[in-house]
A and B are shown apart, each in its own frame.
Chain A
Amino acid sequence: MAQLVELAKELLESGKVSLIIGYTAKGDNATYPFIAYTAAEAEKLVFNHHCVNNLSVYINRLDIPEAGKIGIVVKGCDARALSMLIQESQIKRENVLIIGVNCNGVVKDVEMEWKKENVAPKCAVCEVRTPKLYDELIGTLEDFEKPDPTAMQIIAKIEAMTPKERWAFWQNEFDKCIKCYACRQVCPLCYCDRCIVDENTPQWIETSATARGNFSWNIIRALHQSGRCVGCGECSRVCPMGIPIGVLNMKMNMIGMSEFGFKPGMDINEPTLVGSYKFDDKENFIR
């Protein structure tokens, strides 16, 4: 995308940003995260249907030198994560220069070919193809064939089950978990210095990847994402065991929507959901 390269070069050369977090192409299809420090490196930046990664995860990693302003390439869904990070005071708005891209859908995983069956399910319900938050906007919107919202279908399927069946379903899924914490590391909103699973005085969550430890980990992860998850789907994508963990987050988001009318990351000035309250919040479940 020439527009992106031009812009990135200009930003780096003029010193408006010290680095740009973006995507670079590799092989026939795939793209991977890439950090451009110089205008020459900016030549390698691309944006296409294979730019699946949510790059906002990098903005908060200590390992990226904190040298001045950071430029970052974001899709609409990634911009929501950035917005959440700003709302939760993890980054300052003035420290990032957001290059928003009008997104025409991405594939499920970076190496997949661009066709209807491979379009990421999140794109089916996307409302932010133009990012809500940006300093520079590039690209043009084009129509694409929407996939089936599979996560929604899974949720509907699970909700129709009895509690015992739901328990069996999730036990079967969580049993696979090997506790590699790829879901945690890839999540832009899992930024705690010390995660609850790493706490060992006391050991709240067992480190063992057995039924009990896996159950506790997976539901606490989902709970900590309630009202925060922006639905970028990275956790489900990176899970080596194919556990549909994003479904739990999506369910939590549906509750945030139905009970509080809240969508994470849509409005940078809004207070966070679990960090705020209203006097008349729903409480019909409390005696």
Chain B
Amino acid sequence: MEENRFEPKIVAFVCNWCTYTGADLAGTSRLKQLPNARLIRVPCTGRIDPIFLIKAFESGADGVLVSGCHPGDCHYNSGNFHARRRWMFFKELLEFVGIDEKRVHFSWVSASEGKKWVDVVNGVIETVRAEGPFQEYEKINKSNMIPIE
């Protein structure tokens, strides 16, 4: 590990049936990945309310990854289709209010794509690392808390 390197905090919302299982496969296959992502398992990408992503940023995340089943593979048939439309808007909205697109990532990773998961998560971590700490959001988080520091 390089010293003094910025270690971003990534929150990854992953669906139980595909991406979480895919990440599990990466583990059992002993594939190496960067340790910066915290995984949060949800039943389906359709369950991911965009407010989860906001909450992640409020809790100090530098970047967010959302990942689920490929279109057509959803355990509940259509959860990821609904999610996809929602993200379309959410992604554009975040960009419009000034959250760089490099901090919010979306992917499809199936249960058999352990390798893809490692590539995706490493890629996200490196992208966010290059962006640096999310100082703007940290500032509004801390605005409530000034005397504590």
Asked if A and B touch directly (CB within 8 angstroms), the answer is yes
Contact across chains for B143 and A251 when beta carbons are under 8 A apart: no
Contact across chains for A277 and B108 when beta carbons are under 8 A apart: no
- Distance between Cα atoms of A275 and B120 in the complex (Å): 29
Contact across chains for A226 and B93 when beta carbons are under 8 A apart: yes
Residues of B within 8 A of A150 (CB): none
Contact across chains for A281 and B85 when beta carbons are under 8 A apart: yes
Contact across chains for B51 and A205 when beta carbons are under 8 A apart: yes
- Contacting A248 at CB < 8 Å: which of B50, B96, B107, B136? B96
Residues of B within 8 A of A204 (CB): 51, 55
Known: A171-B140, A212-B141. A222 touches B93 (CB 8 A): yes
Q: Considering only CB atoms and an 8 Å cut-off, how many residues of chain B contact the other chain?
A: 40
Interface, chain A (partner B; CB < 8 A)? 158-159, 161, 163-171, 196, 204-205, 208, 210-212, 215-216, 219-220, 222-223, 226-227, 248, 251-252, 255-256, 259-260, 273-275, 277-279, 281-283, 285-287
- Distance between Cα atoms of A166 and B84 in the complex (Å): 25
CB distance from A184 to the nearest CB of B (A): 15
The stretch that binds A, out of B6-14, B24-32, B33-41, B98-106, is B98-106
Residues of A within 8 A of B97 (CB): 166-167, 170, 215, 219, 248
Contact across chains for A277 and B82 when beta carbons are under 8 A apart: yes
Contact across chains for A251 and B93 when beta carbons are under 8 A apart: yes
- Contacting B93 at CB < 8 Å: which of A219, A274, A281? A219
B88 at the interface (CB under 8 A from A): yes
- Contacting A210 at CB < 8 Å: which of B82, B99, B123, B143? B143
CB distance from A131 to the nearest CB of B (A): 27
Residues of B within 8 A of A287 (CB): 105-108, 120, 123
Residues of A within 8 A of B108 (CB): 286-287
CB nearest to A164 among chain B residues = B98
The 3 closest A-B CB pairs, nearest first, are A167-B98, A166-B98, A277-B81
Q: Could you name 29 residue pairs across A and B whose Cβ atoms are closer than 8 Å?
A: A163-B99, A163-B100, A164-B98, A164-B136, A166-B98, A167-B97, A167-B99, A168-B98, A171-B98, A171-B140, A210-B143, A210-B144, A211-B144, A212-B144, A215-B97, A219-B97, A220-B51, A226-B93, A227-B85, A227-B89, A255-B92, A274-B85, A274-B86, A277-B82, A277-B84, A279-B81, A287-B106, A287-B107, A287-B120
